[in-house]
Amino acid sequence: MARFDQFLAIDWSGATGERHAGIALAIAGSDGGVPVLVERGLKWSRAEVLGILRDLPSGTLVGMDLGISLPFADCGAFFPGLPDGPHGAKALWAQIDQICADDLHLGANSFVDDDALSAYFRRHAGREGAAFRCDGAMHGRGRFRVTELRQGEMGLKPYSNFNLVGAAQVGKSSLTGMRVLHALQGAVPVWPIDTLPSSGSVICEIYTSLAAIEAGRTASRSKIRDRTELDDALHTLGSPGLGGNGPIDDHSSDAIITAAWLRKVANDPARWTPNGLTAQIAQTEGWTFGVT
């Protein structure tokens, strides 16, 4: 499996607007050198990241910090009770993109504001849809994918992709990311929804906190805003540090650490064959790379 030439980690944002301070990209080469930020004169836009994904060098493993699908296994559907709902992740991506066709900058507001679909989301101003908890069967944190339940067992703190409230919410990031994945039209396989190919580039879902924990941090201290602490984490992953001192924004540090982590663990077969990942879950919910 030692076939990837470089490792690209993308810290993502689902915020409204064209350009986002929350998007950061970092690359680590297979040669073991220092991970580097992919610099931009302006803040990144989602459309620009899509352009990079369309033109990847062969042999790139891309990790995107977002959910590549929504919960399905818990209720047997993405949207239980909704007639003619999608039955697979790619059909879900297509539905999101169709409903949001007029949303600028690969946004997803139209999807969560849709009259029928809004019932499944928790939105701002105390607007919790009647179906947010899957007929009341789940706790107040909302519905989770199988991989997210496993994240919780590993000491991580996942959030439901149906939750759109709070600083740590991941719903909008995931929905906008699914629009990007749909726009690729299969140009780059998305594991595990697509089978891991024997060569070429691959996109996978990442959870930057998992990379930080494996770099010696804790779940409550996964965010790094100091260059010395960043170098300590990189050294734990067997990577050279960036050097220097002073502050760094946590989006950049998330991307840098995760690029180094991808390089360290990508050749571990267990990461690609996690317990609990069935063919049906792969096709519907997907999985977070590194969650075993």
Q: Alpha-carbon distance 238 to 111, whole Å?
A: 42
pLDDT, position 40: 82
| Tens of pLDDT, residues 90-123 | 999 999 999 999 999 999 999 999 999 999 999 8
| Tens of pLDDT, residues 263-276 | 999 999 999 999 99
Q: Kindly give the residue spans of alpha helices, DSSP state H, lying in the chain.
A: 46-54, 89-99, 109-112, 146-153, 171-183, 208-214, 227-236, 250-265, 269-272, 279-284
| pLDDT class of 142 with cuts at 50, 70, 90 | confident
- Is residue 55 pLDDT above 60, yes or no? yes
| pLDDT class of 45 with cuts at 50, 70, 90 | very high
Pairing between strand 202-205 and 60-65? parallel
- Is residue 1 pLDDT above 80, yes or no? no
- Is residue 4 pLDDT above 90, yes or no? yes
* Distance spanning both ends of the chain, measured CA to CA: 17
Per-domain residue ranges for the chain? 6-67+184-272, 89-182
Q: Alpha-carbon distance 182 to 185, whole Å?
A: 6
- For the chain, give the number of residues: 292
| pLDDT class of 127 with cuts at 50, 70, 90 | confident
pLDDT, position 89: 98
Burial (CB < 10 A; 0-12, 13-18, 19+), residue 275, is exposed
SS3 281: helix
pLDDT, position 2: 60
- Is residue 37 pLDDT above 60, yes or no? yes
Residues with Cβ within 8 Å of residue 14, at least 6 apart in sequence: 66, 108, 170, 171, 172, 173, 174, 175, 176, 177
| Tens of pLDDT, residues 176-235 | 999 999 999 999 999 999 999 999 999 999 999 999 999 999 988 999 999 999 999 999
Any idea which of 1-5, 66-70, 132-136, 183-187 has the lowest mean pLDDT?
132-136
